Amino acid sequence: MRLMPRFTHPRLEDVPLDLALHALADPNRLGMVARLAATERLSCTDAAPCESIPKSTLSNHLKLLRAAGLIETTQAGREMINTLRRVDFDQRFPGLLDVVLANRVA
């Protein structure tokens, strides 16, 4: 009897642009996306934008990124491994992620 989360990942065609932009419109989440873009696979805590962020807040951010089709989360032991859904996302919103990441920090 499994009670722990089986993450749901939307089909990208069901993700509206607004939701995608909203997910990226937060420094913490965008920071996580940037890190994932550079690092392939990260546990939740490793994806965290800083040490001080509470676990529950981090979990919420990741849930939102999942809902926006930006990341995929799978369980591996007691860790949850997150990866960017780059191909899917780029196909749905061509150029968007590249432009946003390029405009970050810069």
Q: Is the Cβ of residue 33 or residue 80 nearer to DNA in the bound state?
A: 80
State yes or no: residue 22 binds its own copies (CB under 8 A).
yes
Q: Which two tokens stand for residue 33?
A: 């996306």
Instruction: Give the footprint of DNA on this chain (CB under 7 A).
Output: 1-5, 22, 26, 28, 43-46, 53-64, 73, 75, 77-80
11 closest CA partner among 75, 76, 81, 91: 91
57 interacts with, out of its own copies, DNA, none, CB within 5 to 8 A per kind: DNA
State yes or no: residue 71 binds its own copies (CB under 8 A).
no
Q: Which two tokens stand for residue 63?
A: 């849930």
Could you give the CA distance from residue 81 to residue 98 in angstroms, rounded to a whole number? 23
Q: Is the Cβ of residue 24 or residue 48 nearer to its own copies in the bound state?
A: 24
DSSP 83: E
Residues facing residue 80 across a β-bridge:
75
Question: Shortest approach of DNA to residue 26 CB, angstroms?
Answer: 7
